[in-house]
Amino acid sequence: MVAQVIDGKAFAAKVRAQVADQVAKLKEENGITPGLAVVLVGEDPASQVYVRSKGKMTVEVGMNSYEHKLDVDTSEADLLALIDKLNNDPAVHGILVQLPLPKHLDEDLVINSIDPAKDVDGFHISNVGLLGTGQKSMVPCTPLGCLMMLREHHGSLSGMDAVVIGRSNIVGKPMAQLLLGDSCTVTIAHSRTKDLPDVVRRADIVVAAVGRPEMVPGEWIKEGATVIDVGINRIDAPEKGTNEDGSVKTRLVGDVHYASASTRAGAITPVPGGVGPMTIACLLANTLTACSRANDLPEPEGLTA
């Protein structure tokens, strides 16, 4: 069997186009422009890249983007004061504080100071609780993107056996809650799981969110299963040669061994080009959802859990 490739890049472009359509409608019919505020503390190079690309895509779908870049030594009080200002700004419908924060800042305190209705990352403890109890919430972007791809591919997920490898608060746990919400029978595996290969072999849906390059080999995958690879790992790629400074070139791989898994799976997401592009698309979808809720308007169809 050769797996169908689930093209996250193409699907993310479709989601962004859907968001852009809805934003245009909101502007025309209601005179409202959704706004997303992104707060970056410090100069972590990876975070700077993420923030830049989030800002660019926010503007591309017709939303307002507000970027707040703060010094690395910004005090907690100053950061909390900015969040309070954004919480009270009616032009701001979504607030995202780019993680990780510098060590002197209490991440939980900062995230939990965001108005839950504007918490487009879905990390606020209230949103975690709402998702856990099956109520309307803001859903973390990466698992939401995975769910959308699964729904697009399968239609209904009801009754399917799903295994989520990884139990982090940002991916594994919310992913498991979402699959449960769609009536899958869900197993959450982690570093202490006994006989992981056997657990994975039983699954119709495998979501790998571990952070270990290619740790899931094809032989673990049940014939015809759907594999969603969340992992993003950079490994040496000596076959690509060396950089100008003599260092070995690198490439990105997922948590699943793509070549062997794609001979057994029914469908699989590649890395790069799978889950990654869906994460920003879902951030925009969440901002639109937050804006619709704030204005008592119907929620955008197909863009929420």
- Interacting residues with ligand NDP (CB under 6 A): 142, 165-168, 170-172, 189-193, 196, 209-212, 230-233, 275-276, 279
CB of 27 or CB of 201, closer to ligand NDP: 201
The answer to whether 167 is a known ligand-binding residue is yes
CB of 11 or CB of 86, closer to ligand NDP: 11
CB of 47 or CB of 193, closer to ligand NDP: 193
The answer to whether 151 is a known ligand-binding residue is no
Residue 73 C-beta: closest distance to ligand NDP, Å: 26
Q: Are strands 226-229 and 185-189 parallel, antiparallel or unpaired?
A: unpaired
Residue 53 C-beta: closest distance to ligand NDP, Å: 12
Spatial distance between the Cα atoms of 139 and 29, rounded to a whole number of angstroms: 27
Catalogue the active-site residues. Answer: 54, 98, 121
Residue 91 C-beta: closest distance to ligand NDP, Å: 27
Q: List Cβ neighbours of 295 (8 Å cut-off, separation of 6 or more).
A: 30, 32
Residue 31 C-beta: closest distance to ligand NDP, Å: 33
Buried b (16+ CB within 10 A) or exposed e, 134-165: eeebbbbbbbbbbbbbbeebbeebeebbbbbb
CB of 32 or CB of 149, closer to ligand NDP: 149
The answer to whether 168 is a known ligand-binding residue is yes
Query: Which residue number places its CB atom closest to ligand NDP?
Result: 168
The answer to whether 35 is a known ligand-binding residue is no
